[in-house]
Structure 1
Amino acid sequence: MSAGTGVGVTVVALTEQNWPALQELLGPQGGASGCWCMWFRRTANDFKRNKGEPNREALGSLVGSGEPVGLLALDAGGKAVGWAAVAPRLAHIRLDRSAVAAPPDPREDLSDVWSVTCFFVDRAARGTGITRSLLDAAVTYAAEHGARCIEGYPTDTEGERKQVSTLYHGTLSMFLDAGFELIGRRGIKRALVRRDLR
């Protein structure tokens, strides 16, 4: 991928070489509760059984295979300060049963749809625009890999301040500002958004 830059960071694809930097960023909890960004890639039961080290190992195996997993935002010193999970939608099996992520047409071929499922930014770097830089780079990354469109499942904050723990999907306003289209509101606070890449 072509590295994206913004707000003093460089955004690069996650690889075996920079996998240690992601591990340092996510810390011993793997972001939160031993997730290691495997929540969308496992069934609910599999996720519960594999919290913590098994999830870390599974993510590491995906990285080692060369499969697209996500993007890292690196500061000027090369330290990872942000992460976005972005990959083909079909790699995220939990989306199949998600009311929020249900496609507008159930008959749609999803093989060339990509998904941005999660953001994580270092506490000291929050509020500096890194999440938006990651989202912009995710659009480029998906397009470079032949995606027809890229989608997200953001939270609608309605302009209110929210706890960080509720914003890992990103915010609706950020996605709309980045050129995504609101496909549908899903419940009170969630939405499906897409950006056409053709």
Structure 2
Amino acid sequence: MAPTPLVTSDGFTVLPATHARFDDVRTMVGPKNPTSSVCWCLSHRIPAKLNRELAGPERAAYVEALTRKRTKPGVLAYDGDEVVGWAAVAPRADLPFARSTKIPHVDDQAAWSVWCLRVRPGHRGRGISHVLLEGAVAYARERGAPVVEGYPVDNRGAKVDLTMAYVGTRKLFEDAGFTLASPTDATSAGFPRVIMRRSP
């Protein structure tokens, strides 16, 4: 039986990043060179020391283990059977953001964080990031999140360098029904980052 999508919109579907979809996670966040010690969307998921220690294939193994857990490490967007997007979503308490000195806690609610949105080259400009964000919120809601937050740049319409665009923009989050909750002391690509929040 086919899994029920978290979101279906504009011909795209969003599904949790389960172990059965690990190859699609690899497509979205794994480096081209499997021995490379970069990405796998780990830099904001695990402590900096562990992020530095995990090398090459160890990074893949770490993320594969995450896909086997009850709470999955994120969601994937599909155009038919082809994976076209990734969004990382998890309880903030489980992330380095819980101890961040630059991104404050708004209140004592057990917030979930959406901190990385990635669309495959060749598929950008089709609204996939909007569908991904909606899917991430839907997954957090399904897992009992009382509130979902993101930490996008407040770029006021200015162009954001693609390598740093993964954090999203304030407008993207506003379009998804998030509202400004707090400024931060963090920046990305030279722009200030803000906390955007939404009740799922």
Preserved CA contact (<8 Å) 2:12 2:78: yes
What corresponds to 1:14 in structure 2? 17
C-alpha deviation, 1:29, in angstroms = 4.6
1:177 to 164, 167, 175: 175
SS at match of 1:38: coil
**Structure 2 Cα separation of the partners of residues 172 and 52 of structure 1:** 33
Query: How much identity, in percent, do the aligned residues show?
Result: 35
1:195 to 173, 176, 198: 198
2:75 to 68, 71, 77: 71
1:132-155 Cα shifts (integer Å, max 9, x gaps): 100011111111111100000111
Consecutive unaligned residues in structure 1, runs of 5 or more? none
Question: Is 1:36 the equivalent of 2:40?
Answer: yes
Q: What is the number of equivalent residue pairs in this alignment?
A: 191
Give the TM-score normalised by the residue count of structure 2.
0.87
Consecutive unaligned residues in structure 2, runs of 5 or more? 186-190
What corresponds to 2:90 in structure 1? 87
Question: Is 1:57 the equivalent of 2:57?
Answer: no
Preserved CA contact (<8 Å) 1:2 1:12: yes
RMSD: 2.1
Preserved CA contact (<8 Å) 2:30 2:60: no
Preserved CA contact (<8 Å) 2:87 2:133: yes
2:140 to 130, 139, 142: 142
What corresponds to 2:114 in structure 1? 116
Q: 1:118 to 1:51 in 2, by over 3 A?
A: farther
**Structure 2 Cα separation of the partners of residues 25 and 104 of structure 1:** 31
SS at match of 2:122: helix
Give the TM-score normalised by the residue count of structure 1.
0.88
